Amino acid sequence: MTLGTRSARPPQPTLEMVAAAAGVSRATVSRVVNGSPKVRPEVVESVQAAIEQLNYVPNRAARSLASHQTQSVALVVPEDMTKFFGDPYFAAVVQGITQRLDESDYTLNLLVASSDPRHKTMRYLRSGNVDGALVISHHTGDDFVANLESTMPVVFGGRPTNHSGADNYFVDVDNVAGAISGVQHLIDIGRHRVGTITGPVDMPAGIDRLNGFRHALGQAGLPADAVEHGDFTAAGAAAATRRLLERSPDIDALFVASDLMAVGSMAVLAELGRAVPRDIAVVAFDDSPAALSGPISLTTVSQPSKEMGFAMADLLLRLLAGDDAVPHHNIMPTRLVLRDSA
């Protein structure tokens, strides 16, 4: 029996082949590949030309062993999987993160850590699988996230719940000021009985937006007692809106702490025959695609979610590169976007 022959594949380019083509030592090629600043520019240019000519791809595993780096970072989301994939805010943040990482050699590991497998997530992170972590949507009880900072560089999306001075690195917006601008708009158009559906009050964003709501109404001398708590989901907001209308049927405006929740609130208002904005004006927060998903476009406080993700990844890459000038607290602006709901 005869065996069929297979065509011989060309040899995979090696570090030695690059060195020979560039006329330098293997060690010099290794230094160029690993970004060492100790190689003369003309030598770097020669090695890079040889790499392109041979189509050489560095062995990432070997580089990791040599440098003790994985060239990977984790995005840690202490949330339920359904909530993560159902909220457009997360999609925008991840888009910004990946856009920045695409400019680097780092890859992204996504870890959606609900309450049950968090010990497994922590074990994975502490086992040297990633060089640093990005954390978004963290809650007061997420102590395992706070403990990460003792093992690797960490950048938070949103002010961390354990924030105490200058120890944490985070990117956030001024949620209090954003909420004030949204509620002030409702006051300015003549609304006097403003209610709110809050975000989770175990998260800084939920707490700060509620504080902004109370501050704006207090400054105007208006009551701020029409409050129901939501969970940043449309279903949770719908239930909270029903409770609010049963308790405070006289409200003529509603500040909702996210666009996605406002979609749930407006569905209930339509079901109960409350016209928006004639009977109840609505202002939300985020300026996500959800703001334009319904029959009435949402007036909303816009936060630059994609840019926040980009900035988070940029800060982490700077920390991993040993940059000592990385700012700890990075606050981005919000703006009010006027549409049909208020």
15-58 sits in which CATH class?
mainly alpha
More confident site: 317 or 9: 317
Q: What is the C-alpha to C-alpha distance for residues 244 and 195, in angstroms, rounded to an integer?
A: 8
- Of 38-42, 111-115, 278-282, the poorest mean pLDDT is in 111-115
More confident site: 339 or 71: 339
Q: Which CATH superfamily is domain 175-302 in?
A: Response regulator (3.40.50.2300)
**Side-chain half-sphere CA neighbours of 107 within 13 A:** 8
Q: Per 3-state DSSP, what percentage of the chain is helix, strand, and coil (rounded to 5)?
A: 45, 15, 40
Q: Given pLDDT bands bounded at 50, 70 and 90, which one contains residue 337?
A: very high
More confident site: 161 or 2: 161
- The domain ranges of the chain are 15-58, 72-173+306-334, 175-302
* Predicted confidence (pLDDT) per residue in 145-156, tens digit: 666 777 788 999
Same CATH fold assignment for domains 72-173+306-334 and 175-302 = yes
Output the furthest CA–CA distance in the chain (Å, rounded). Answer: 96
DSSP for 189-221, written as a single string = TT--SEEEEE--TTSHHHHHHHHHHHHHHHHTT
Please give the pLDDT value at position 113: 72
Q: Could you tell me the pTM of the whole model?
A: 0.77
Bridge partners of 284?
Answer: 300
Compute the residue count for the chain: 342
Please give the pLDDT value at position 11: 66
Tokens 């701020």 — which residue? 224
Mean pLDDT of 309-322: 92
Mean pLDDT of 222-248: 96
pLDDT at 66 over 60: no
Candidates 3.40.50.2300, 4.10.520.10, 3.30.930.10, 1.10.3720.10; CATH matching 72-173+306-334: 3.40.50.2300
- Which H/E stretch holds residue 266? helix 259-271
